[in-house]
Amino acid sequence: MRLAMIGVGAWARVLAKAVSESPKIKITCCFGRTAQRITDFVTTTGIPAAASYQEILADREVDGVILALPNEMHLEFARKAAQAGKHVYLEKPIANTMDDALRIAGLETAHEVSVVVGHCSRFLTGTRLIKKMIDDGRLGNVSLIETNFSNDRGLRLTKDDWRWYGSRSPGGCLSQIAIHQFDTLRYLGGDLLSINALSARRSPAGAEVEDQWVVSARFVDGKLGSVVSSWTSPGIYSVRVLGDRAYACYEIDQTNWGKPENLHQGAQLYVCERGQGIQGRQMINVPPGNMFRDELELFAAGLIDGRSTEISSGNGLQALAAVYAALASARSGSGAKLLSEVVSEAREGMTIPSIH
């Protein structure tokens, strides 16, 4: 598949490196908003620059676009790509607002293109192994899934950083990193029904956004989940799944997030069966992988065989709905918020088909 990279910042370089290791995808050109950044990106990656976004959209040799842009620009650039018949890969989240998310998801039907959202955490090799344990029945009946994603970004925020502002980074770490774990919950446990949340501002930086979140979730099938996220902590990424036969724990070195080929180094995955204490833990080897390459290859595979993928726009919409349910719950103090209500409220008055 021949793709164009739109956006040439730091994350675009991470994605370009992942693609360079794949025999299934080729990035044929790039485009960005800043001349110097474009020059630096071309020098670093060897990917040639196009003269404009319009040139890329008119190029019949380009099958789709990778949008590594600020979240508030997703709708504008995705719509233009879809109108030109190009398939779209979006860095998560799908959008900054539910309104934009619904409109982006609607592009698939309106223009017969594929739109996927890069929720990469579900492609971590340890997470995939836990999913297999669940599916194979090794953990038994799962009743609780606990997750944490934290780092120290909130201590370094300034007014020059877009993450400072609630309109651009809803809930701070909630929409920027905790959203990964909402997707992990959904991948491991199925659809989420409702969200109940608490938040706080603890960073001395004084940004608009919240920097601490404790979120509880209820799944449609009745089991429970949690997402904890702090923006004033050393890096943490962990998943714990509790079943009536055993529990599984997975933790990685979060500082290697942008270097996925290293995430297996120092990672821990173990299973503890019922009746066994800490000494009875069974350590499981975590194989190397590249979650960014895997999600982009899945995007390409979906284009080839015409099937929807597990990182569909509908999946991205549900992850963002969990974010907005948490925001509503924490800010109102009124308890649990149904995800279906979040989507319905956003859809009200909009002529957009249902997304599954």
Q: What pLDDT was estimated at residue 334?
A: 87
> How is residue 281 written in tokens?
């833990």
Structure tokens at 16: 């370009």
Q: What is the CATH number of domain 121-289?
A: 3.30.360.10
- Give the tokens for residue 6: 């739109």
**Tokens, residue 87:** 């398939």
Contact 121, 212 (CB under 8 A): no
Rounded CA gap, 336 and 195, in Å?
Answer: 5
CB-based contact 147:239 (threshold 8 Å) = yes
The segment(s) of the chain belonging to CATH 3.30.360.10 are: 121-289
Instruction: Compute the half-sphere exposure of residue 95: CA atoms within 13 Å on the CB side of its CA.
Output: 23
pLDDT for the residue numbered 352 = 43
What is the number of other CB atoms lying within 10 angstroms of the CB of residue 184? 27
The residue count for the chain? 356
Residue 114: how many CB atoms within 10 A of its CB?
23
Q: Would you state the pLDDT for residue 307? A: 73
Angle at 149 between CA 144 and CA 152, to 5 degrees: 155
305 alpha carbon, distance to own chain's centre = 23
d(CA 314, CA 102): 9
Q: Which residues pair with 198 in a beta bridge?
A: 214
Cis peptide before 93 (omega within 30 of 0): yes
Where does the chain hold its CATH 3.40.50.720 domain(s)? Answer: 2-120+293-311
Q: Find the DSSP H helices in the chain.
A: 10-20, 35-45, 53-58, 74-83, 98-111, 125-136, 173, 179-189, 291-305, 313-332, 339-347
Q: What per-residue confidence (pLDDT) applies to 356?
A: 35
Q: What dihedral do alpha carbons 226, 91, 162, 317 form, nearest 10°?
A: -50
The CB density around residue 61, as the number of other CB atoms within 10 Å, is 9
Please give the pLDDT value at position 349: 52
pLDDT digits (tens, 9 = 90+) for 174-187: 999 999 999 999 99
C-alpha to C-alpha distance for 229 and 214, rounded to whole angstroms:
7
The pLDDT of residue 209 is 98
- Laid out side by side, the sheet with 224-230 consists of 282-283, 268-273, 246-251, 236-243, 142-150, 224-230, 212-219, 192-200, 337-338
Residue 303, pLDDT score: 82
Residue ranges of the chain with per-residue pLDDT less than 50: 351-356
- Whether 36 and 12 have beta carbons less than 8 Å apart is answered as no
Q: What is the pTM of this model?
A: 0.94
Q: Are 38 and 4 in contact, with CB atoms under 8 Å apart? A: no
The CATH H-level superfamily of 2-120+293-311 is NAD(P)-binding Rossmann-like Domain (3.40.50.720)
